[in-house]
Amino acid sequence: MAKKPRVLDSWAMLAFFQNEPSADRVEKIITEAHATGTDLLMSVVNVGELWYTVTRTHSAKHADAIIAELHTLKIAFVDADWEVTQLAAQFKAKGKIAYADCFAAAVAKKFKAELVTGDPEFKQVDGEVKILWI
């Protein structure tokens, strides 16, 4: 039986691709999602954040390869339409949270999904959005 969708933020995916301590946990979440038919989502804003971060530390070619791998992992990109953008802006208006992070929270709220992260900035939206801390 499929579970609620899960939204992966850039923090979680950077941990995964850079083999940081939380990488195994993220891998388990992705594997479990595939086994149960659970949708995995990422805001295109957070995909962009992942791309520029990897480009800065490695190269654009490496970043392109990682984005291609997101598709292989069956992570759906959610466009920043007005509904998502307005939700993100509401989160930003309420607190000191990075605007890109607000898009991950907005996608989670829109799709009634769990947000997968280890980024402490998300403590500000915990309660409005269900967070799966890694």
Question: pLDDT tens-digit profile of 82-112?
Answer: 999 999 999 999 988 999 999 999 999 999 9
The count of structural domains within the chain is 1
What sign does the CA torsion over 91, 42, 126, 124 have? negative
Residue 118 lies in a domain: yes
**Any idea what the CATH number is for the domain that residue 94 is in?**
3.40.50.1010
Residue 122 lies in a domain: yes
Residue 110 lies in a domain: yes
Residue 1 lies in a domain: no
What are the pLDDT digits (tens) for 16-60? 999 999 999 999 999 999 999 999 999 999 999 999 999 999 999
Contact present, 84 and 112 (Cβ < 8 Å): no
Residue 125 lies in a domain: yes
Residue 100 lies in a domain: yes
Whether the predicted model's global pTM rises above the 0.85 cut: yes
Residue 27 lies in a domain: yes
Residue 101 lies in a domain: yes
* DSSP-derived pairing of the beta strands 75-78 and 130-133: unpaired
Contact present, 11 and 23 (Cβ < 8 Å): no
Q: 81 pLDDT exceeds 60?
A: yes
Compute how many other C-beta atoms are within 10 angstroms of the C-beta atom of residue 91. 22
The residue range of the domain holding 90 is 6-133
Compute how many other C-beta atoms are within 10 angstroms of the C-beta atom of residue 83. 11
Closest residue by Cα to residue 11 from 39, 42, 33, 57? 42
> What pLDDT score was predicted for residue 2?
59
